[in-house]
Amino acid sequence: MTSPVLPSLKPGRHNLIPHLVVAVGIAITAFPLWVAFVASTLSNPEIAQAPMPLLPGNQAVANYGEALVQGGRSGRILTPPVWEMMLNSTVMALSIAVGKIIISILSAYAVVFFRFPFRMAFFWMIFITLMLPVEVRIVPTIQVITNLNMMNSYAGLTIPLIASATATLLFRQFFMTIPDELVEAAQIDGAGPMKFFRDIVLPLSVTNIAALFVILFLYGWNQYLWPLLIGTDARMQTIVIGMSKMIDSAGGPTDWNMVMATAILALLPPVLVVVLMQRWFVKGLVETEK
């Protein structure tokens, strides 16, 4: 018995349109990044001319070296070196991501697997915090940070942001999919709560942790309002705050080549995190949807 021959897929208009849409979307997304990269390799007079060149110039080494080591200038305001601001942003993003994951996974584990009075009431109290805008909590939180002498410190930058109701909700939903038979089998084998958490729950949660880590790292890296209020010392400025201060809001001259070089450098850590954890990130999102 001969097997049926499947018709060959021939390229046609229906197959071409999706590729064109993807190509146009990539071009629209990549063009501003290309312009920023080109501007980071030019001098200020070259950027100011019309039209601005769309091919890289010969100032890349000088611009990136100056941005990394010396920082930028906006009028009379000098920003710290980019490496120092990137270090602050990295510490803040890592602390927020790791702190949120640790607190959220432990709180979700307690809500799902422990039986204590009013446990669901505590969960809904955590969930209700999602409805409070950040701006509502800014003033009392700053007052607490000031009273604890945590201004201009990594603790002040990170501790108020490490609680996450969203991550707690996601971990809770995942833990509820763990079969009761698995919990009972662990109890029969003599596994206590921490052993069950360490040997069973954590390995099952690796992909979810990886997906949340990427999202929370980007969340911490892109923070603007909180570092602006807490980091009044130039040495505690994050890269996002530094870039905003490099642009002269008073209408004075701005070193756009330094701004663009700083912007390109600021993209590198988040892109690196996404690229390195892309497989785990996608897998974690797919398993979460299931």
Distances (CA, A) of 65 to 61, 110, 132, 142: 6, 50, 43, 36
Asked if 47 and 257 count as a contact pair (C-beta separation under 8 A), the reply is: yes
**For residue 41, is it left (φ>0), alpha (ψ between -120 and 50) or beta?**
alpha
Residue 92 has pLDDT above 90, yes or no: yes
Residue entry with tokens 């923070």: 223
Higher-confidence residue of 232 and 251: namely 232
Residue 105 has pLDDT above 60, yes or no: yes
Instruction: Report residue 43: phi and psi, to 5°.
Output: -90, 165
pLDDT recorded at residue 53:
87
- Global pTM? 0.85
For the chain, the residue count is 290
Q: Does the bond joining 227 to the residue before it have cis omega, within 30 degrees of 0? A: no
Mean pLDDT, residues 50-62 = 88
Q: What is the pLDDT of residue 84?
A: 92
For residue 10, is pLDDT > 60? no
Residue whose entry in the numeric block shows the structure tokens 């990539």? 26
What is residue 123's predicted lDDT score, i.e. its pLDDT?
A: 79
Per-residue pLDDT tens over the stretch 34-51: 999 999 999 888 888 888
The secondary structure of residue 237, as a DSSP letter, is -
pLDDT given at position 76: 56
d(CA 285, CA 282) in angstroms, rounded, equals 5
Does residue 250 register a pLDDT over 80?
A: no
CA 203 to chain centre: 23
Sequence spans of domains, the chain:
82-288
Rounded to an integer, the average pLDDT of 9-23 is 74
User: CATH fold of 82-288, please?
Assistant: MetI-like fold (1.10.3720)
Looking at residues 138-155, what average pLDDT do you find? 90
Judge whether residue 1 has pLDDT over 60.
no
Contact residues for 131 (Cβ-Cβ < 8 A; gap 6+): none
